[in-house]
């Protein structure tokens, strides 16, 4: 057999945009995209495909999501000519409060163990999407993932590259208290304790059993059945905070998408507690500015960065569980407020602060079916494998979304029992008039709204095809005047941005720069898709 290194690529690769006449499925792992396309080939719709893919992704990309994840979705139903939003993010256990953290001497929510865990929302989200818009039973949609889990599936290159770092991370966390992490090591390391690597075969019997249980109960078992009892029992035995009512009382919520007009298009996002509003605020600022005719100019980079900085400072100050937000979403998205923020942008990098708007490691997937329906879907454990807590014998790895709570009592986002945290995962959708253009997303923590802005600017201002949009070098604002640029950004742009006052860091790994997928519908009714070159993505076409 040939001897090669799956992590070494000496020469640049090139991908073309992908066309399809009937259906398309895109995600970061090829098996996931093929699975979704197969659902639609057998008569299922875009929602069926998205649910099947979402149920498989904890197996295919466990470094980014799990059964204990949260999820959000934007669903375009062609016969209704309407976009629906679903918020399936969980809430903090009722037993949590700022006092719990003070008693432990903590000034911030940690990222590992029980403290940042919240009620898993994803399975309830799968069931709700299936109930309202699906055409196939969950048992049929989960069957491919169950088979892959029992037979084993190969670990993709990008997934394998993140697995080893997680083993080291949870080894350090377990030095303080090993009990919550033992099941993680049993599930996600080999018998000798080594991480799985690219090309290894990963089998996960517990995950298969749990998917069968979820399919048989329409996912009720995790909230009002045997899986819930196992989660609560393990929480009580190892220092967690869950009680039965934390899960029994949980239900996902249908929400009205929020929008912003951008140069003749309508950009759609899920409303808070997610920070999709950040992308909309930045685009509201940008649409009043003239961008350079070339995307590869310092002016184009500078104006996008300044708009993103101003929008992010507002999001960090005001976005929270909407039941606790004192600031109105309409005020944050108003034209007047955008104009006031836009006026702060000059030739040099500013040090951003929040304004006053008052007026008086995630997986992303998208699907499009032969019936005109489309789904933009995102699911995440937040930081890699999440909290490191796995419920023994179930394959349920819990997210650590609570790490985004504040412990400042004056903050709208201060931790409280039953409260949702500020959330980073955001599905996007683009429309023109009353017609759907299609779903898009760029996963990656606080890069996500920045990635959304760059995709829309690349599409609308610079007329890039979906693959070119995703191939384009990215930038990321990380705080104050600090900016990360991918090494593919031309050196003269980096130099000019530095002259304008930006503190430039050229990064040699693009792992933190987001991973995206796009499907657009063309004027002649074809589907055209692009997939992320920074991971193992695939745009599967029919």
Mind listing the pLDDT tens digit for each residue in 65-79?
Answer: 999 999 999 999 999
Q: Distance (Å, rounded) from C-alpha 201 to C-alpha 155? A: 6
Give the pLDDT score at 360: 43
Radius of gyration of the chain (CA): 22
Evaluate if residue 451 carries a pLDDT over 80: yes
Evaluate if residue 534 carries a pLDDT over 80: yes
- Total length of the chain: 542
- Looking at the chain, the whole-number percentage of residues with pLDDT higher than 70 is 99
Cβ 254 vs Cβ 269: under 8 Å: no
- For β-strands 503-507 and 482-486, DSSP reports them as parallel
Q: Distance (Å, rounded) from C-alpha 393 to C-alpha 91? A: 24
Q: Distance (Å, rounded) from C-alpha 3 to C-alpha 188? A: 26
H/E stretch holding 140 = helix 138-151
Look up residue 66 and give its two tokens.
């799990």
Give the pLDDT score at 1: 67
Sheet of 515-521: strand order equals 18-20, 527-531, 515-521, 435-443, 428-432, 265-269, 258-262
Look up residue 54 and give its two tokens.
């979402």
The pTM of this model reads: 0.96
Largest interatomic CA distance in the chain: 72
Under 8 Å CB-to-CB from 290, ≥6 apart: which residues? none
**Looking at residues 371-400, what average pLDDT do you find?**
95
**Confidence band for 13, pLDDT divided at 50, 70 and 90:** confident
Q: What is the pLDDT of the chain when averaged over all its residues?
A: 94
Choose the weakest-confidence range: 120-129, 140-149, 531-540.
Answer: 531-540
The model's pLDDT over 74-105, given as tens digits with 9 standing for 90+, comes to 999 999 999 999 999 999 999 999 999 999 99
How many other C-beta atoms lie within 10 A of the C-beta of residue 392?
A: 17
Look up residue 30 and give its two tokens.
């090829």
**Looking at residues 188-193, what average pLDDT do you find?**
93
Look up residue 45 and give its two tokens.
């719709």
**Looking at residues 233-258, what average pLDDT do you find?**
97
The model's pLDDT over 352-377, given as tens digits with 9 standing for 90+, comes to 888 778 644 689 999 999 999 999 99
Q: Distance (Å, rounded) from C-alpha 198 to C-alpha 169? A: 19
Look up residue 59 and give its two tokens.
């197996």
Give the pLDDT score at 88: 98
Evaluate if residue 230 carries a pLDDT over 80: yes
User: Which one has a higher pLDDT value, 510 or 243?
Assistant: 243
Q: Distance (Å, rounded) from C-alpha 387 to C-alpha 398? A: 6
Look up residue 445 and give its two tokens.
């923590």
């Amino acid at each position: 057999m040939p001897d090669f290194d799956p992590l070494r690529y000496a020469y640049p690769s090139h991908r073309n945009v992908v066309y399809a006449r009937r259906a398309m499925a895109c995600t970061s792992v090829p098996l996931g995209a093929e699975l979704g396309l197969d659902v639609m080939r057998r008569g299922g719709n875009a929602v069926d495909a998205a649910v099947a893919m979402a149920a498989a992704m904890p197996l295919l990309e466990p470094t980014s999501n799990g059964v204990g994840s949260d999820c959000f979705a934007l669903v375009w139903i062609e016969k209704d000519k309407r976009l629906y939003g679903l918020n399936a993010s969980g809430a903090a256990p009722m037993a949590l409060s700022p006092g719990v953290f003070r008693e432990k001497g903590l000034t911030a929510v940690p990222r590992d163990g029980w403290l940042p865990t919240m009620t898993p929302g994803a399975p309830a989200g799968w069931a709700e999407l299936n109930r309202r818009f699906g055409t196939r039973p969950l048992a049929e949609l989960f069957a491919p993932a169950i088979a892959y889990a029992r037979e084993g599936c190969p670990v993709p290159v990008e997934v394998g590259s993140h697995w080893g770092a997680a083993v080291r991370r949870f080894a350090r966390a377990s030095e303080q208290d090993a009990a919550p992490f033992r099941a993680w090591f049993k599930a996600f390391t080999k018998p000798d304790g080594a991480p799985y690597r690219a090309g290894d075969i990963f089998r996960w019997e517990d995950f298969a059993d749990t998917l069968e249980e979820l399919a048989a109960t329409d996912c009720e078992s995790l909230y009002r059945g045997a899986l819930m009892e196992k989660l609560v029992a393990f929480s009580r035995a190892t220092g967690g905070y869950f009680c039965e009512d934390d899960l029994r009382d949980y239900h996902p919520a249908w929400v009205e998408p929020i929008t912003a007009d951008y140069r003749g298009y309508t950009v759609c996002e899920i409303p808070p507690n997610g920070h999709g509003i950040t992308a909309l605020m930045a685009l509201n600022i940008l649409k009043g500015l003239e961008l350079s005719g070339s995307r590869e100019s310092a002016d184009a980079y500078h104006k996008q960065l300044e708009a993103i900085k101003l929008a992010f400072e507002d999001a960090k100050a005001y976005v929270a569980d909407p039941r606790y937000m004192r600031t109105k979403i309409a005020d944050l998205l108003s034209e007047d407020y955008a104009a006031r923020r836009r006026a702060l942008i000059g030739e040099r990098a500013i040090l951003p602060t929040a304004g006053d708007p008052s007026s008086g490691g995630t997986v992303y997937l998208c699907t499009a079916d032969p019936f005109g329906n489309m789904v933009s879907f995102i699911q995440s454990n937040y930081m890699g494998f999440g909290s490191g807590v796995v419920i023994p014998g179930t394959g349920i790895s819990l997210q650590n979304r609570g790490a985004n709570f504040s412990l400042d009592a004056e903050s709208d986002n201060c931790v409280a029992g039953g409260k949702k945290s500020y959330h980073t995962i955001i599905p996007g959708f683009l429309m023109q008039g009353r017609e759907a253009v299609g779903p898009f997303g760029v996963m990656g923590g606080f890069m996500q709204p920045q990635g959304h802005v760059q995709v829309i600017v690349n599409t609308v201002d610079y007329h890039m095809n979906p693959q070119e949009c995703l191939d384009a070098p990215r930038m990321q604002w990380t705080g104050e005047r600090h900016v990360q640029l991918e090494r593919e950004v031309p050196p003269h742009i980096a130099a000019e941005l530095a002259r304008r006052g930006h503190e430039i860091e050229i990064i040699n790994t693009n792992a933190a720069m987001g991973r995206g997928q796009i499907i657009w519908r063309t004027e002649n009714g074809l589907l055209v898709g692009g997939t992320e070159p920074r991971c193992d993505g695939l745009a599967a076409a029919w």
